[in-house]
Amino acid sequence: MRTALLAWDYPPAPSGLSTAAREIAESLAEAGAEVTVFTLDRTGRARVGGVAVVGLALPSCGTLARLRRWGSAGHLAAPLAFRRAVLDAHGRAPFAVVEATNWYAPAALLAGRPDLPLVTRSSTPAAFTREPAGTLRDRLDGWTADRLERRQARGSAGLIANTAEHGAVIAGAYGLGGRQPSAVIGLSLPPEVATGAGGTAYPQDGPVSLLFVGRAEARKGFDALLDAVAILGREHARGGLPPFRLDLVGVAPGDLPADLPAAARRHLRARGRIDGPALAEAYARAHAVVAPSRYESFGLVYQEALAYGRPVVACAEDASARAFVGAPGAGPLAWNATGPAVAEALRPLLVDPGLRRTYRARALAAAGRFGRASLGRETLALYRRAVAAARGA
């Protein structure tokens, strides 16, 4: 099967969507598909991991790059670039199917084509990641993005969700009627993580090293995390807690609030975006991973932390956290995404090395639930159903 995959970015770009795109593409290639990735984060062509990678970065002086700066209309720039490139390649050597994320609808202008069925694999909708609109321009911008996502999802020949709960959220967000073939398929971790992480030694007791991996946004529970660190920082200053530090990966120093209390700031290190080896080192140094997200479509950070055998402090508001962290007892769940709740969940891990090691053992036991073999096999099965449905239409 010859397939196309649309990606906003692709490794070595250090993002969750990039990691997911690589796992999807290479799992399909390992399952026997011929895969071409179209990505906006580079130019040129390359072959990596058995996958053809085509860069579509928009020239800064080009028409689409200028369109991208135009408020609501700018959301059409990337879909136009993807559509042009994919249809050009499809005309020379037809694809059986094209896949794209729902996030900001890169395939909105490829939806509904019976000659090229579209499969949408849903991440978190853009509406869940934006800050509340403060201006009319921002409201119109968000409205356009949401409508394009809905158009893409409704025009897809097949749909993939990372968990059953996530699929239900997506159906409600986009008003889907359940007519398209759909599947629940968990994402795999990169082989170097899946095979190498479990052998990473656990840090010796001493100052407790914590790790957060994500963006400084409300969906990730970042506000609650900062409040929790301020609470625990004041307790440490009074002599009630041992020393601790929280590394913030994916968060630049400028992302921290200007009025962040000193009780929190002295325990934080904002590291910005880092590459794969540096992230592996950060996991290796961590005694625990703090991921108090309010909502995750899947939660690759949970899976990475489990692979390294690191206890995870997560939030019970998130269904994926309940399933992947709470159910196997791989770490404590805060009852909600607030500073006091996250601090209460984290406090016992700071003071009890034995508890940290108990959670570590459970995390290792829960690791490895998803792999490339199942990802590729189940994705191809859904592709075939989507192709059959499109032809039937």
* Overall domain count for the chain: 2
pLDDT at residue 29 greater than cutoff 80: yes
55/198 same-domain check? no
**What integer pLDDT is reported at residue 206 of this predicted model?**
80
| Tens digit of each residue's pLDDT (9 = 90 or more) over 201-257 | 999 878 999 999 999 999 999 999 999 999 999 999 999 999 999 999 999 999 999
Q: What percent of the chain has pLDDT over 90?
A: 83
SS (H, E, C) the chain: CEEEEEECCCCCCCCHHHHHHHHHHHHHHHCCCEEEEEECCCEEEEEECCEEEEEECCCCCCHHHHHHCCHHHHHHHHHHHHHHHHHHHHHHCCCCEEEEECCCCCCHHHCCCCCCCEEEECCCCHHHCCCCCCCHHHHHHHHHHHHHHHHHHHCCCEEEECCHHHHHHHHHHHCCCCCCCEEECCCCCCHHHHHHHHHCCCCCCCCEEEEEECCCCHHHCHHHHHHHHHHHHHHHHCCCCCCEEEEEECCCHHHCCCCCCHHHHCCEEEEECCCHHHHHHHHHHCCEEEECCCCCCCCHHHHHHHHCCCCEEEECCCHHHHHHHHCCCCCCEECCCCHHHHHHHHHHHHHCHHHHHHHHHHHHHHCCCCCHHHHHHHHHHHHHHHHHHHHHC
177 plus 111 within the same structural domain: yes
Q: What CATH number is given to the structural domain containing 317?
A: 3.40.50.2000
Band (pLDDT 50/70/90 cuts) for residue 41 is: very high
Q: Are residues 110 and 54 in the same domain?
A: yes
238 and 178 assigned to the same domain: no
pLDDT tens digits for range 264-300 = 999 999 999 998 889 999 999 999 999 999 999 999 9
The pLDDT value recorded for residue 393 is 60
Mean pLDDT of 182-194: 91
pLDDT in tens, 49-65: 999 999 999 988 888 88
What average pLDDT does the structure give for the chain? Answer: 94
Render pLDDT for 129-151 as a digit per residue (tens, 0 to 9).
888 888 888 899 999 999 999 99
Same domain, 285 and 301: yes
Residue 318 confidence class, pLDDT cut points 50, 70, 90: very high
> 196: pLDDT confidence band, cut at 50, 70 and 90?
confident
Same domain? For 151 and 73 the reply is: yes
Looking at the fold, whether 206 and 349 belong to one and the same domain comes out as yes
* 383 and 300 in a common domain: no
Q: Do residues 181 and 215 share a domain?
A: no
Domain identity same for 135 and 33: yes
In whole angstroms, what separates CA 14 from the centre of its chain? 11
Q: Are 180 and 216 within one domain?
A: no
d(CA 110, CA 198): 41
φ/ψ of 264, rounded to 5, equals: -90, -45
- pLDDT tens digits, one per residue of 72-114: 889 999 999 999 999 999 999 999 999 999 999 999 999 999 9
Assess whether 253 and 339 both reside in one domain. yes
pLDDT (tens digit, 9 = 90+) per residue, 6-25?
Answer: 999 999 987 889 999 999 99
Which tops the pLDDT comparison, 189 or 100?
Answer: 100
Residue 127 belongs to domain spanning: 2-188+371-392
Predicted confidence at residue 68, as pLDDT, reads 85
